[in-house]
Structure 1
Amino acid sequence: MIKTLLIDDEPLAREELASLLAPFDDIVIAAQCSNAIEGIAAIHKHKPDLVFLDIAMPRISGMEMLAMLDPDTQPKVVFVTAYDEYAVKAFENNAFDYLLKPIEVPRLATCIERIRKAHTPQDLSAITPQALSLVPCYSGNVLKVLKVDDVEYAYSDLGGVHVATDAEVIHTQLTLKVLESRTPLLRCHRQYLINPAAIAEIEVQDGGNAEIITRGGQTLPVSRRYLKALKQTLGFY
């Protein structure tokens, strides 16, 4: 079962979404909330797997609420909104999906199917050695095997997990967590890993964030959460 919260300041919108979710037997609505404060409290209480979250809410928006959650423990968040201009920012903030009101049933079904797959991820531990020297990747019907040393960075987005070399960006079925724990790649952002050998410089910004400039000229984000550990690993104290 997928424990779910609905957070929207409009009661009719919550009722409509609950009705649309009713045919999905594995979606169990644990609570409905009318604002972000109630939503955060409900997340701490129920520890849901999934949250459907409105963006345009009074006082604290859905986007602001998502930023308050711990990215390492937060549930999967699907934004539900009448405005499409927030989509890019939503995915930058680690949203799982983005649905436009009025919600279309086929689009909702696609979202739920993705959630189901993510909720029961394939166990790679039995087939993946403790230390990876090769990264299995794919491009359409072509299977590729990359040397870990050739990977400059890896990142995740709506399309999955991707690894980048100096020549190409390609998909992999490995998760960022597996890559982080079993390769030399270092976490620099909740959606990015970096090969320390690919770092040319780190530009520290106001507010505690930073940017990595790779030797290939790419710019990657560094969040305040990971900057200190990254600097220490590289020998900066």
Structure 2
Amino acid sequence: MLSALIIDDEAPAREELKALLAEASDVEVIGECSNAIEGLAAIHRLRPDVVFLDIQMPRVSGLEMVGMIEPSALPHIVFVTAYDEHALKAFEEHAADYLLKPVDAQRLARTLDWLRSGKRTPATAFPGADSPLRQIPCTLRNRILLIALEDVEYVNTTLCGVQVVALSKQGVTELTLKILQERTALLRCHRQYLINLDHIAEIELLDNGAAEIITHSGKRVPASRRYLRDIKDKLLIG
């Protein structure tokens, strides 16, 4: 049995695809989401075998979302799009599967056969999915925030998840420290912290060889001995 998650900002498109998938006895739709940020959380929570993912969504596109998922947690991805076939040559070259809207039942059947075969496309192979992140999607109570990377002071892991602290706001993101370190200019300063070098005002050296970083807004961030040298090198401090 294949478990499937549908991520599309258009409710009629989700309903149409659900109805088509219901015709397959070995496919179970275990959830649906209307945007990429909800989709990230659902992927981590539900661990579907396959995600049918709309490419063109507001705020965070499907391609951007794929690049935010840890490779170890990445399900099969089937892109669903209104792009014309000429524009989809890049996906064919990367061996990524896709469905054109409106979804054709016979084309979907071929996609399901591809999924049943167990073939998998590496996350780094998706065109455009490895571009640098310019904003970090976060949740705050009943709101979704997109925090510009330039405003982020630091990021750290907490019991509630990965916390993003910016100049005037903060939220919790589904992205891991590993993804944020790889896809942004944030630098690791501690096992549980990443720092934005542009927001460092002072580095207070401690007796044990570690340090505390003080941001321009006065926030204090720990820096361990292991990562302090790299920070100094980046700041051209001897």
Higher relative contact order (CA 8 A, sep 6+): 2
TM-score (norm 1): 0.48
TM-score (norm 2): 0.48
Q: Which of these two proteins has the greater Rg computed from alpha carbons?
A: 2
